[in-house]
């Protein structure tokens, strides 16, 4: 595990990120054109997240919400969120909005598999719980991503942010800590396969 964590994991990240970028690049232009056509806004969404060792970085996604969406609501996406655009609904459902994070992986800010990076606000609220999690790079997918693949469907009620903070985030943290004890090539390949299978289904 130590050898894979120190050397093999980064190699796997670069290999999969390059294959992913080359393989999906033909659909980047159509996606970009559709986003631009719908409202004329920015193609990419960039947001500050907390990475390894507590360092801040900008995560990249295809924009799925209206421009300046965070000024109109929470930093979480709710069920039937009015800020989500038409093309954004498709991108979110298919997870194609996550493709630009392959750039984050090549830059060394993220890994293919690892705990999903959170916004500074939530990390500060759970600072003690995130201490060990922030020892590794965040990832595009992990066990929590599979478990909560339709997370927005759970964020309902009068105070959906409290649902996230009291129910969903603690479970994500628990799953992330479990992953820390299981890091291996086999575990990462299994999570990648399960993620693809979940999306296809």
pLDDT of residue 106: 97
Q: In a 3-state reduction of DSSP, which class is residue 79?
A: coil
Residue 192 φ/ψ region, left for φ over 0, alpha for ψ in the -120 to 50 degree band, beta for the rest: alpha
- 115 alpha-carbon distance from chain centroid: 9
Give tens-digit pLDDT for 120-147.
Answer: 999 999 999 999 999 999 999 999 999 9
Is this structure's pTM higher than 0.85?
Answer: yes
Task: Please tell me the least confidently modeled range out of 83-87, 112-116, 158-162.
Answer: 158-162
C-alpha span between 105 and 197 (Å, rounded): 21
Give tens-digit pLDDT for 176-190.
Answer: 999 999 999 999 999
Provide DSSP, 114-161.
SPPPPPHHHHHHTHHHHTTGGGS--EEE-HHHHHTTTGGGG--SS-HH
C-alpha span between 43 and 23 (Å, rounded): 20
9-39 and 185-200 helices, crossing angle to 10°:
20
């Amino acid at each position: 595990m130590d050898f894979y964590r120190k050397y093999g994991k980064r190699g796997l990240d670069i290999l999969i990120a390059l294959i992913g970028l080359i393989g999906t690049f033909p659909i980047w232009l159509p996606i970009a054109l559709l986003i631009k056509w719908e409202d004329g806004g920015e193609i990419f969404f960039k947001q500050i997240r907390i990475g390894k060792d507590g360092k801040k970085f900008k995560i990249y996604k295809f924009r799925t919400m209206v421009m300046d969406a965070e000024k109109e609501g929470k930093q979480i996406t709710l069920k039937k969120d009015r800020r989500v655009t038409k093309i954004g609904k498709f991108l979110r459902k298919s997870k194609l909005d996550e493709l630009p994070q392959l750039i984050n992986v090549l830059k060394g800010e993220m890994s293919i598999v690892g705990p999903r990076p959170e916004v500074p606000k939530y990390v500060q609220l759970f600072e003690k719980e995130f201490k060990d999690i922030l020892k590794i790079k965040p990832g595009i997918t992990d066990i929590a991503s599979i478990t909560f693949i339709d997370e927005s469907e759970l964020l309902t009620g009068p105070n959906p942010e409290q649902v996230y903070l009291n129910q969903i985030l603690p479970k994500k943290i628990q799953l992330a800590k479990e992953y820390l004890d299981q890091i291996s090539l086999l575990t990462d390949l299994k999570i990648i396969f399960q993620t693809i299978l979940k999306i296809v289904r």
